[in-house]
Amino acid sequence: MRKLAENIFEVGTIDWDRRLFDELIPLPDGTSYNTYLIKGSEKNCLLDTVDPPKVNVLAENLKAAGIKQLDYVVAHHAEQDHSGTLPAILESYPHAKVVTNQKCRDMLIDLLCISEDKFYVIEDSRKLSLGDKTLEFISTPWVHWPETFSSYCPEEKILFSCDFFGSHLACSNLFVEDECRVLESAKRYYAEIMMPFRKPIRNNLKKLEDFDIGMIAPSHGPIYQNPKVIMDAYNKWTGEQVENKVVVAYVSMHGSTKKMTEYLVEKLIEKGIDVKQYNLTVTDIGELAMDTVDAATVILGVPTTLTQAHPVAGYAVNLLNLLRPKTRYAGLLGSYGWGGKTVKQVTEGLPRLDVEFLEPVMIKGYQKKKDFEAIDKLTEQIEQKHKEDVNVK
């Protein structure tokens, strides 16, 4: 149990060893499941729970806090790393009511089979009195599920934001101490799960301007005592501007596509363009996602395998289509032996990206002078596009 403010505590757990989330997202620094306890003068309230394997830690923390009666459990989000321990908590504290919105209520019934009579359904801007503490509920959907909301305690100026502003970072510090490290983790977190919803998130950021926020307490990672740091970062990440940067992600079977990729990267560097090169067979997809948050252009290096794009590259295409970065331009280079539909497959595989496709460079067999000249032309096109685009800074 760690103290945020008078009679407000963090009672969740740190997951030092977790390295994969949703069997998809790498967690190089582990994570935490932050659960907050408010001891009001009249009512006790728990804000979210923990991932089910950590249920005993939460139970022991509540016992150590001397909680014999729990009146409310606020469920900001139905995903199981926050809600999965609700059934156990309700069994231990049978008089507690689950405070949530209608959409989240329905999802919790579907996901956890919680009885309908256990819910206290709230709406946007509704307030809940705990005596000397108040919670005001703020609808913040699509961070990153449709039902998610936040809670604000005006007496302490604390925003309990759930996944909003979170970071997968296991650390012993309750509060942010190393801002650079936390912001890097927060950017990875944003890139991996929040980026597809950047437009709704902008609306949520606008809504939060009406609140005097002195502290942000997310459900993952350390707590911000300087909220401006993470709010400014989110405003930048969700804004329209991108950087004079190219992400080049490739796979190469026999070295041909690799040689083309390295030539392109060298030419881009010569023109003063920031470049990030990734070999897709060994890349941490979280790092790749992070660099697409603010890259003006993404280039995929894709060889042809049995008439199709190499499956590893196909995975990257699916990932980009899923994450929907604000990238302005996309391009393709690669090689083939006797034919195929790689260009068509890749370009049609990105329908959710609002990008301009540059002229692809696909070569047959070994690279020749004209092929490198085509890459030179692609490099010049990228440089010119970046210079002319007002959203590239």
What pLDDT sits at residue 23?
Answer: 85
Given 205, 238, 271, the domain boundary residue is: 238
Q: Do residues 162 and 59 both lie within one domain? A: yes
Q: Are strands 2-5 and 8-10 parallel, antiparallel or unpaired?
A: antiparallel
Report the domain count for the chain.
2
Q: Per residue in 114-163, pLDDT tens?
A: 999 999 999 999 999 999 999 999 999 999 999 999 999 999 999 999 99
Tell me whether residue 393 is in a domain.
Answer: no
Read off the CATH number of the domain in which 273 is found.
Answer: 3.40.50.360
Q: Do residues 218 and 113 both lie within one domain? A: yes
Please tell me which residue, 102 or 285, carries the higher pLDDT value: 102
Q: Does pLDDT of 265 surpass 90?
A: yes
Tell me whether residue 189 is in a domain.
Answer: yes
Q: Does pLDDT of 345 surpass 90?
A: no
Given 219, 238, 257, the domain boundary residue is: 238
Assigned token pair, 381: 């096109």
What pLDDT sits at residue 339?
Answer: 80
Tell me whether residue 100 is in a domain.
Answer: yes
Tell me whether residue 301 is in a domain.
Answer: yes
Q: Does pLDDT of 45 surpass 90?
A: yes
Tell me whether residue 378 is in a domain.
Answer: yes
Tell me whether residue 390 is in a domain.
Answer: no
What pLDDT sits at residue 341?
Answer: 87
- Of the candidates 235, 226, 252, 227, the residue with the CA atom closest to the CA atom of residue 190: 235
- Model confidence band, residue 299 (pLDDT cutoffs 50, 70, 90): very high
Question: Alpha helices of the chain — where are they, by DSSP H?
Answer: 55-64, 80-83, 86-92, 102-112, 179-189, 198-208, 227-238, 256-270, 285-292, 311-323, 342-348, 369-388
Q: Do residues 163 and 279 both lie within one domain? A: no
Read off the CATH number of the domain in which 183 is found.
Answer: 3.60.15.10
Given 208, 238, 268, the domain boundary residue is: 238
Domain carrying residue 324: 246-383
Q: Per residue in 189-247, pLDDT tens?
A: 999 999 999 999 999 999 999 999 999 999 999 999 999 999 999 999 999 999 999 99
Instruction: Tell me the one-letter amino acid at 105.
Output: R
> Model pTM greater than 0.85?
yes
Give the three-class secondary structure for 59.
helix
Backbone dihedral angles phi then psi of residue 182, each to the nearest 5 degrees: -65, -40
Mean pLDDT of 256-283: 96
Q: Per residue in 163-180, pLDDT tens?
A: 999 999 999 999 999 999
- Model confidence band, residue 367 (pLDDT cutoffs 50, 70, 90): confident
Tell me whether residue 391 is in a domain.
Answer: no
